[in-house]
Copies of this chain bind each other. A is one copy, B any other.
Amino acid sequence: MVFQSATYGKVLVLDGVIQLTERDECAYQEMITHLPLCSIPNPKKVLVIGGGDGGVLREVARHSSVEHIDICEIDKMVVDVSKQHFPDVAIGYEDPRVTLHVGDGVAFLKAAQEGSYDAVIVDSSDPIGPAEELFKKPFFESVAKALRPGGVMCTQAESIWLHMDIIEGIVENCRQVFKGSVNYAWTTVPTYPSGVIGFMLCSTEGPEVDFKNPINPIDVQENQIKSTIPLKFYNQEIHAAAFCLPSFAKKVIESKAEK
């Protein structure tokens, strides 16, 4: 469903859950993309699972080092509806480096060449529903296998206010699978339940990744493709701040995340 809201512009709804609004999509798309990509030097090959609206593609495309972007979206209608109603989001598809694969992300990753991606971004719907598999260990194992040593994954990881039990499970799964860094970050997205959304950021064994201290800044103009519109939300300070957790969440997450 697509509808026009009074305060947040046009809204995209899937299975009764708000996926994005024109007003606040910048927070989600910029953070889920630049938190991983600004944490590694020179990302070249990026895979997006889900993200059919094209917003993550738009953000990945800001990185001039990127040579190839695969996206695997299971629902072609999301792509079409976004192109029709959200041109500022679907603009991501116009980048010539993008290849769209319509299909199941789980199957796509299983068939992916080992160690071929610098980053995998999982822009999925919630773990209760069709995207359930994308939060389980076998899926994370496929992601880890598809990543190069020291490659990074970022996946949406629910709300610290509402889903600490689910988050605890995700952190535990990631800790078991990813042998590099495992971190939780969060940001404000007003139209998501409780107004926040979290991200799991993990890296595979190899060159160390310090997610909390971005080494590949995008908010300095030179690094961006010239034609893109400026970032609305992301900057280096908000990158580092995203890893600072309220005490109630910190206690649970760090007990799972630390070795």
Binding site for B on A (CB under 8 A): 7, 23-24, 26-27, 161-162, 188-190, 194-196, 219, 230-235, 237-238, 240-242, 244-248, 250
> Do residues B27 and A246 form an inter-chain contact, with CB atoms below 8 A?
yes
Cα–Cα, bound, A23→B189 (Å): 19
Work out how many copies of this chain go into the complex: 2
Which partner residue on chain B sits nearest A219 by CB separation?
Answer: B247
Query: Known interface pairs A188-B188, A194-B190, A195-B196. Does A7 touch B247 (Cβ–Cβ under 8 Å)?
Result: no
Residue of B nearest to A248 (CB): B232
Give the shortest distance, in Å, between A23 (CB) and chain B (any CB). Answer: 7
Contacts of A233 in B (CB 8 A): 246-248
20 A-B pairs with C-beta separation under 8 A: A7-B162, A24-B161, A26-B248, A188-B196, A190-B194, A194-B195, A195-B195, A195-B196, A219-B247, A232-B247, A232-B248, A233-B247, A233-B248, A235-B247, A235-B250, A237-B244, A238-B245, A238-B246, A241-B242, A241-B244
- The answer to whether B247 and A240 touch across the interface, beta carbons within 8 angstroms, is no
- Given known pairs A23-B161, A162-B7, A190-B195, the reply for A231 and B244 (CB within 8 Å) is no
A237 to B230 CA separation, bound complex (whole angstroms): 28
Please give, as numbers and ranges, the residues of chain B lying within 8 Å of A242 by CB-CB distance.
Answer: 241
Bound-state CA distance A65–B130 (Å) is 54
5 further interface pairs, Cβ-Cβ under 8 Å (given A26-B248, A188-B196, A235-B250): A188-B195, A194-B195, A234-B246, A241-B242, A241-B244
For A27, list chain B residues within 8 Å (CB). Answer: 246
- Please name all residues of chain B whose beta carbon is closer than 8 Å to the beta carbon of A188 when the two chains form the complex: 161, 188, 194-196, 246
What B residues does A189 contact at CB under 8 A? 195
* C-alpha gap A250/B232 in the complex (Å): 10
| Residue from the set A194, A196, A231 with the largest chain B CB neighbour count within 10 Å | A194
Kindly list chain B residues whose C-beta atoms are within 8 Å of the C-beta of A219: 247
Identify which of A26, A234, A245, A246 gathers the most chain B CB atoms within 10 Å of its CB: A246
